[in-house]
Amino acid sequence: MPSGRGPLADVTVLDLTSTFLGPYCAELMAQMGARVIKVEPPEGDIIRYVADDRHSGLGPAFLTFNRGKESVVLDLATAAGRDALDRLIDTADVFLHNMRPGAMRKLRIDPGAVRARNPRLVYCHAVGYGSAGPYRDEPAYDDVVQGVSGVAAVQGGTAEPQYVRTQVVDKTVGVMALAAILAALHERDVSGEGQAVEVPMFESMATFLLMEQQGQRVYAGRTGGTGYARTASPYRKPYRTADGTISVLLYTDGQWRTFFRLVDRPDLADDPELHSIRGRTKRIDELYAVVEEALAQRTTGEWIELLRAHAVPAMPVHSIEDLFADEHLAAVGLFEDVEHPTEGPLVHARLPWTFSRSGAPHLSGAPALGEHSGPVLRAVGLDDDAIRAASGRPHHPAGEPHAGPPA
């Protein structure tokens, strides 16, 4: 893919987030060219140390969620650390954090205090629960929000609730936060003023889920009738073939009629009730059972060739390892090779979106803890003594990376 500056090349982001949601949002902005300054406490983002077999403070997840960022260590509980943050706020376009309200107020990084220094700033607070509700001070993580938002119940179907086996809340709400920030930046271009944006995990995932799961509850005064029959069917799953597994989705009238004929079921192809999505939805378990039985009769390769020839959506089921050998991902150049100064050769997935004019930059590897404290803070007027004081580790040379996991 051609390299460029990226559509956000003139945007500076202060990223005070940790774990996954906020870092993912900021990482997407970095991949679109924004300058992202990751402000970390003296112990660093906890994700630095997840699966950190090399004891470098650069575990696999941190390397993925934080590449192309600059790491600055500030102890915001000290006057020196807060003064350094204020100087960075003065030069930023976006201020992003995911602290709980109590910690936010204690550190004086509430919207009023931050935007008083820089009225053009877009201030984004990614929270667990909206500040107007009774849950506002409760801690929130992906698993907890999967549970309270209904995602786990829907995932479990008629059995026990289950978590989706990826951080679906963090990453989904991270993209929602990105959308909100970009909208606020656009409005700033019109009005000249920044604003505060609150992106709550619970409300975001509730609305995300309800889009198709609300069912009859869309009509005021009704109860029950929630869910979406197609996705709730126990027969909706990757199907076994004669030699593996395949993903197939039959949705339109034409796709179903084609499939019925391919599997020699003229009785279903000619059934008038099955000529509409309304009728098929009523009998979705029966139909998916037919699909399951039929697909087991041929190999995955045979089905892929046959279904593609008839424009029926079908793909093999990949493992994570399979993604690295996928011919399409290779052809579009999804994976980039990066030479990290301490971790050696790395492989990262690039930004999946493309921009025809501005392109996107090739990013450097994720930073060591405090790697950029010196140059970033000198640029806003601090001398080395002030930088050491602001970092909370006055014995540590300014601008050098901090090492070691938190106690």
Domains 12-208+331-391 and 239-316 agree in fold? no
List per-block mean pLDDT (blocks of 10 residues) for the chain, which spans 407 residues. Answer: 83 97 98 98 96 94 97 96 97 96 91 96 97 94 96 92 96 98 98 97 96 83 84 90 96 95 96 94 94 97 96 96 96 94 94 94 94 97 96 54 40
193 vs 75: CA distance, rounded Å: 29
pLDDT of amino acid 393: 66
pLDDT value for 403 = 42
pLDDT value at residue 45: 96
pLDDT of residue 230: 85
125 - beta bridge partners?
A: 97, 198
Q: Which residue has tokens 């829907």? A: 154
Q: With helix as H, strand as E and coil as C, how does the chain read? A: CCECCCCCCCCEEEECCCCCHHHHHHHHHHHCCCEEEEEECCCCCHHHHCCCCCCCCCCHHHHHHCCCCEEEECCCCCHHHHHHHHHHHHHCCEEEECCCHHHHHHCCCCHHHHHHHCCCCEEEEEECCCCCCCCCCCCCCHHHHHHHCCHHHHHHCCCCCCCCCCCHHHHHHHHHHHHHHHHHHHHHHHHCCCCEEEEEHHHHHHHHHHHHHCHHHHCCCCCCCCCCHHHHCCCCCCEECCCCEEEECCCCHHHHHHHHHHCCCHHHHCCHHHHCHHHHHHCHHHHHHHHHHHHCCCCHHHHHHHHHHCCCCEEECCCHHHHCCCHHHHHCCCEEEEEECCCEEEEEECCCCCCCCCCECCCCCCCCECCCHHHHHHHCCCCHHHHHHHHCCCCCCCCCCECCCCC
The reported pLDDT for the residue numbered 405 is 40
Place of tokens 């509430």: 110
175-184 contact pairs (CB < 8 A, 24+)? 175/24, 175/25, 175/28, 176/204, 177/21, 177/22, 177/25, 177/96, 177/124, 177/126, 178/25, 178/28, 178/29, 180/124, 181/25, 181/29, 181/94, 181/96, 181/122, 181/124, 184/122, 184/124
Does domain 239-316 fall under CATH 3.30.1540? My reply is yes
**What's the confidence (pLDDT) of residue 140?**
95
Compute how many other C-beta atoms are within 10 angstroms of the C-beta atom of residue 382. Answer: 21
Q: Structure pTM?
A: 0.91
User: Which CATH code fits 12-208+331-391?
Assistant: 3.40.50.10540
Q: What is the pLDDT of residue 2?
A: 55
User: What is the reported pLDDT for 407?
Assistant: 33
**Domain ranges for the chain:** 12-208+331-391, 239-316
